[in-house]
Structure 1
Amino acid sequence: MFEFFTDQGKRAVVASQDEAITLGHDFIGTEHLLLGLLAAEDGTAARVLREHDVGLERARQETVRVLEASGVVAAGGQPARDALSSIGIDVAEIQRQADTSFGPGAFQFPRPAYTPEARKALENTLGEAQALGRDRFGTEHILLGLLTVPEGHVLQVLAALQADPTGLREAVLAQAAQEGP
């Protein structure tokens, strides 16, 4: 499915992974996808979000607050590292060797997995793009997909930032109509 994303959409998805790792989360949730959209600054979604006063730093802060309030702690992969350590695998040493051989940051462990809600949002991206007559998925379609998943934390983050999901949806659709097929 990744091959159907535009370059901007791909950058946003990769940025969501980076945001999850930076925040010390062992998963990529809808809230991380939102952060990824904001990190892809020149994407349609980022422009619309900024027009609604949703910026990356504030969204990052609210993501941390919302997750902590729901009992999610930033474990930074420690449970997986502990499990490997219990069978004699030193992840820190693997990291050092990878950094030496391939450059700093080449090895990230663990790679966070998508939550069911984030997977659902990405699946809904397809339907949103198709409804607009597109065969490739851009950041605007990812944002529309995110807005269809009430179970994730993204709507809580947007509410904390006083961003109306309906208004965001309307703004994205208006922008998409201006851009054409």
Structure 2
Amino acid sequence: MFEYFTDRAKQALVLSQDEALTLGHDFIGTEHLLLGLTGTDQSTAGDVLRAQGVELARAREETVRVLEAAGVAATGGQPAKDALSSLGIDIEEVKRQADDSFGAGTFQYPRPAYTSDAKKALEQTLTEARALGRERFGTEHVLLGMLTAGQGRGLEVLAACDVDPGGLREAVLARVAGDAS
């Protein structure tokens, strides 16, 4: 499915993973998708989000606040590392050897998985792109998919940033219609 994403949308998904890892999360939720979209320069979703007042630093702060309020700890994947350690596997040594052999930063563990809410948002991306007559999925479709899915902590982060999902959807669609003209 990812082969249908535009380069900017792929960049947003990579940024989502990077944000999750930076925040110490071993999952990618809709809140991380939102951060990835907001952080993607020269993208439809990023431009619309910033025009709606969503800045990356504030969205990141609100993500941390929302997750902490929900009792979601930033573990940095420590439970998985501990499980492997109990089997005699030293993740730090594996990382060191991978860095030596393949270059710094090539090995990341754990690789965060998408939450069910994020998966649903990404599934809706396809629906949104097709409804707009597109074969490839851009950042705008990812954002519309997240809004259409209607669940996940990304929507809580938007609310904390005083953004109305309905108004955001209208702004994205208006921007897409303007780009098509």
TM-score under structure 1 length normalisation = 0.98
Q: Which AA in structure 1 matches 2:59? A: A
Structure 1 gap ranges (5+): none
Measured after TM superposition, the shift of residue 103 of structure 1 is 1.6
By how many angstroms is 1:149 displaced? 2.4
Question: Could you tell me which residue of structure 1 aligns to residue 160 of structure 2?
Answer: 160
Question: Which residue number in structure 1 is paired with residue 75 of structure 2?
Answer: 75
1:170 deviates by 0.3
Q: CA deviation at 1:17?
A: 0.6
Q: Percent identity?
A: 67
- For residues 81-132 of structure 1, give each alpha carbon's deviation from its aligned partner in whole angstroms, at most 9, with x where no partner exists: 0000001000000011111111211100000000000000000000000111
1:85 aligns with 2:85: yes
Question: How far apart, CA to CA, are the structure 2 residues paired with 1:176 and 1:55?
Answer: 21
Paired residue secondary structure (2:149) = coil
Shift of 1:69: 0.2
| Aligned equivalents of 2:177, 2:148: Cα separation in 1 | 19
Report deviation, 1:178: 1.2
Shift of 1:150: 2.8
Structure 1 counterpart of 2:125: 125
CA distance in 2 between counterparts of 1:138 and 1:149 reads: 17
SS of the aligned residue for 2:53 comes to coil
Correspondences of 1:15-164 after superposition (within 5 Å): 15-164=15-164
SS of alignment partner, residue 156 of structure 1:
helix
Report Cα offsets for 1:125-146 as digits up to 9, x if no partner: 0000011110100000000001
Give the distance between the partners of 1:39 and 1:72, measured in 2 at CA.
23
Q: Secondary structure at the match of 1:147?
A: helix
Structure 1 vs Structure 2 CA RMSD: 0.9
Q: Could you tell me how far 1:151 is from its partner in structure 2?
A: 2.5
Taking the aligned partners of 2:105 and 2:130, their CA distance within structure 1 comes to: 37
Which residue does the alignment assign to 2:9? 9
Aligned partners of 1:65, 1:103: CA distance in 2, in Å? 34
Q: Give the whole-Å Cα distance in 2 for the aligned partners of 1:54 and 1:74.
A: 23
- Structure 1 stretches (4+) deviating beyond 6 angstroms? none
Number of residue pairs the alignment of both structures matches: 181
Q: In 2, distance between residues paired with 1:151 and 1:21?
A: 22
Q: Aligned AA for 1:110?
A: P
What is the Cα deviation at residue 36 of structure 1? 0.6
**Stretch of structure 1 that moved more, 134-143 or 97-106:** 97-106
**Range with greater deviation from structure 2 (92-101 or 72-81):** 92-101
